[in-house]
Structure 1
Amino acid sequence: MSSDVLPRETRIGRTALRVNDLEEISGFYRDVVGLSVLRHSDTGAVLGVEDTPLLVLEGAENALERHGSSAGLFHNAFRVPSREALGDALARIRNHWQLGGASDHGVSEALYLTDPEGNGIEIYRDYPREDWPRGDDGRVRMGTYPLDLDPVEAAAAGEAGLPTGTDVGHVHLEVSSLETFSDFYVDTIGFEVQTEMSAALFVGAGGYHHHVGANTWNHRSGPVGGRGLSWFEVVLPDAAALGELEDRTADSPYTVTETDDGISVMGPDDIEVRFRART
C-alpha cells in the first residue's frame, strides 16, 4: 500500500461538540441516543459505551448559535453492531424524542434525528461488506432509499442503551468547497474517494464506504464557529502510520499542532481534526 494512503485499520475516534446547555445535551445523548456518561464536570462531559469515550461535550454557555453560513457538522454517525441494537435505538427515539428520517443506503440502514441544539445525528448499522454494491471501478455505490421500519422495530431486544461494539462510524460535514475538502482529506491526509453524489463526496480508508462525508447542499460559505462541531478524531493503527501522516501534514499549508497523544491539524473551514495512534 502507498504510504500516501491511510491504512485499512484507520477509524474515527471521538467527536466533540461545543454546547450551550451541558445538562440538557448530556441527558439527551444518554436517554435518547443511549450513550453512558463516563465523566461529567461543570464545564464538560464525556459519553461513550462501556469505558470507550465516543462523544465529548464542551460547555460553552456564551457560545452563539451556529451562523447560517458557517461550515461544520451535518451529523455524527454512531454505528451499532446489529439490527437488534438499531431497533432499540428506534424505540428510544420514539419514546423520548422525534425521528427525523430513516434511509436504506445500500450499505447500511440508518435512523436520523437532531439534538436540542440542532446537531445532526445518525444511528446506523452496516450490511455485511460483501453485500455492498460496487461499480466497475470498485467504488462503493451508496444511494438513499426508503427504509422499512417494521423489521427494525421487530428486531428490538429491549436494551436501554447502546451495546458493546458501538462506535463512531463516520462524521459528515457541511463544507464550503468539495474541491478544498478533497485536497485536504484525500491528497494530504490519505483517505480514498468511495462515492461521489450531487454536491457530496464520501471518503474512507480500507474500502470502508465512508469515514468522512462532506456536502455543500446548504451552501455554507464561512468557517466553523459558534455552537456545534468543535473537533473530531481519526485513530491510526500504529505509531508508524501516525509518523507518515505527520510527514505529509508538515509539508502542507495547514496548521499542525502537537498534542499529548498525536497531532491536531486545522483543516479547511477551520475544522480541527485530531490524529493519534491506537493504544
Structure 2
Amino acid sequence: MTYTIPAQTRIGHVHLKVADIERSLKFYRDILGFQVMQHYGDSAVFISAGGYHHHIGLNTWHSKGAGPAPVNAVGLYHTAILYPTRKDLAAIVQRLLEIKYPLTGAADHGVSEAIYLNDPDGNGVELYWDKPQADWPVDANGNLDMITARLDIDELLTEL
C-alpha cells in the first residue's frame, strides 16, 4: 500500500548552512525583506515573512567561514520563495535590478514565473509566483505539462 501525504501539507521552513550570519542577513533581510524573528546566540538566526516563527534558518553550526559547497555534489539545489502575486514578484525583480544584484536566470514554467539568483554563499534561490491552477498547461491526457521558456522580464515589470 502506498502512503499519500495529506494535500494540506506544506514545507514550513528551510535551514541553510552559511559562512557569515551578518553577510547572509544583508541578503535575506536587507535585500529580500525577511524579518528577523530570533537570534540564536551568534551562530543562527531565524527569519520570516509575515511574522511566522521562521521560514528560513541561517546557521553557521558546521559552516562558519567555509567556502561554498561544490556545484557538482549532492545537496540543496535551491530554495524557492513563493510570492503571492505576479505584482509582488515584479516588485522584487525591480528591486534586484535597481541594486544591480546578479540574476542567474529567469523562466516561465507554464505553472509559474520565476527568477533565479544566488545568495552570498552560493546557495541557489528561486523567487516565483504560481499562475492560477486553471491556467496550468496540460497534455492531451490531462497530465501536467510544465515547460521552461524565456520569461520576459520587461513585460513582468509592467505589473508595477
TM-score range, shorter chain: 0.7 to 0.9
Structure 1 residue 65: Cα displacement:
3.6
* Alpha-carbon distance between aligned partners in 2 of 1:26 and 1:42, rounded to the nearest angstrom: 13
Secondary structure of 1:113's counterpart equals: strand
* Alpha-carbon distance between aligned partners in 2 of 1:31 and 1:99, rounded to the nearest angstrom: 17
Q: Determine if contact 1:31/1:92 at 8 Å carries over to the other structure.
A: no
Which residue matches 2:4? 5
Which residue matches 1:39? 38
Kindly provide the CA deviation profile for residues 61-102 of structure 1, in whole angstroms up to 9, marking residues without a partner as x: 154542344201111000011111001110221123122211
Asked if 1:81 corresponds to 2:88, the answer is no
* Alpha-carbon distance between aligned partners in 1 of 2:89 and 2:23, rounded to the nearest angstrom: 23
Give the TM-score normalised by structure 1. Answer: 0.52
The one-letter amino acid paired with 1:85 is D
* Alpha-carbon distance between aligned partners in 1 of 2:67 and 2:131, rounded to the nearest angstrom: 39
Aligned residue-pair number: 155
Which residue matches 1:70? 73
Give the TM-score normalised by structure 2. Answer: 0.88
Structure 1 residue 34: Cα displacement:
2.2
Which residue matches 2:144? 140
Q: Determine if contact 2:69/2:122 at 8 Å carries over to the other structure.
A: no
Q: Determine if contact 1:76/1:120 at 8 Å carries over to the other structure.
A: yes
Kindly provide the CA deviation profile for residues 241-273 of structure 1, in whole angstroms up to 9, marking residues without a partner as x: xxxxxxxxxxxxxxxxxxxxxxxxxxxxxxxxx
CA RMSD of aligned residues (A): 1.8
Structure 1 residue 5: Cα displacement:
0.9
Structure 1 residue 120: Cα displacement:
0.5
Asked if 1:58 corresponds to 2:84, the answer is no
Structure ranking higher on relative contact order (CA contacts 8 Å, 6+ apart): 1
* Alpha-carbon distance between aligned partners in 1 of 2:27 and 2:33, rounded to the nearest angstrom: 9
* Alpha-carbon distance between aligned partners in 2 of 1:69 and 1:142, rounded to the nearest angstrom: 25
List aligned pairs for 1:1-279, cutoff 5 A: 4-40=3-39, 41-52=41-52, 53-59=54-60, 60-63=63-66, 65-96=68-99, 97-156=101-160
**CA 1:51/1:124 → structure 2, altered by over 3 Å: closer, same or farther?**
same
Secondary structure of 2:77's counterpart equals: strand
Q: Determine if contact 1:104/1:147 at 8 Å carries over to the other structure.
A: yes
Unaligned ranges ≥5, structure 1: 157-279
**CA 1:86/1:68 → structure 2, altered by over 3 Å: closer, same or farther?**
closer
| Structure 1 residue ranges, 4+ long, deviating more than 3 angstroms after superposition | 62-65
**CA 1:147/1:69 → structure 2, altered by over 3 Å: closer, same or farther?**
closer
Secondary structure of 1:73's counterpart equals: coil
Secondary structure of 1:152's counterpart equals: helix
**CA 1:86/1:69 → structure 2, altered by over 3 Å: closer, same or farther?**
closer
* Alpha-carbon distance between aligned partners in 2 of 1:10 and 1:85, rounded to the nearest angstrom: 24
Q: Determine if contact 2:68/2:122 at 8 Å carries over to the other structure.
A: no
The one-letter amino acid paired with 1:9 is Q
The one-letter amino acid paired with 2:42 is D
Higher strand share: 1
Structure 1 residue 150: Cα displacement:
2.0
